[in-house]
Structure 1
Amino acid sequence: MAKDEIKTSIDSDGLRYRSKPAGSPFGSAGAFTTATMSCFLCGKHRPRASLKGKKLLGRTQFVCAPSCKELAEAEKAKG
């Protein structure tokens, strides 16, 4: 069983990946303007404005508001 050849190398400026896009997929325009969090129940990232705090497992967890299922159906209807 042979090892695959190394497809990346470290450049002189310290970067390893050339094909990987820079930045975060969740954006970083401002501190809280585009802030997202993942829903505790469905795991999808949503804007903080579309989440609500709910007491689960003795702690306050953020979940989709009104519900994960309703938001998923609304996304399907849009696109």
Structure 2
Amino acid sequence: MQKETLTHLGLYLAKKSVNKADVARKTGLSTYRISQLSINTKSHLRVDELFLIALAIEADPAELLAFVCEDVSLPLKEKVNQ
């Protein structure tokens, strides 16, 4: 059996002690979807879902976005000698 790991969203919700069922009720997202976004690294969080979750937990959407995307960066380009 594969061990479950938390996604960045899952870590954020755990850090804030958020009740996922409450978030689901407030956002209209299913509890299954919230759980998948929290534990399945292959789940893709849509921006509208992120915004709704931020509103439901009374968090700054920009702060939540920055936390969720902390590992995202522009690709490095090699410098070309001229």
What TM-score results when the alignment is normalised by the length of structure 2?
Answer: 0.24
Relative CO higher for 1 or 2, CA cutoff 8 Å, sep ≥ 6? 2
Could you tell me the TM-score, scaled by structure 1's length? 0.25
More helix by share: 2
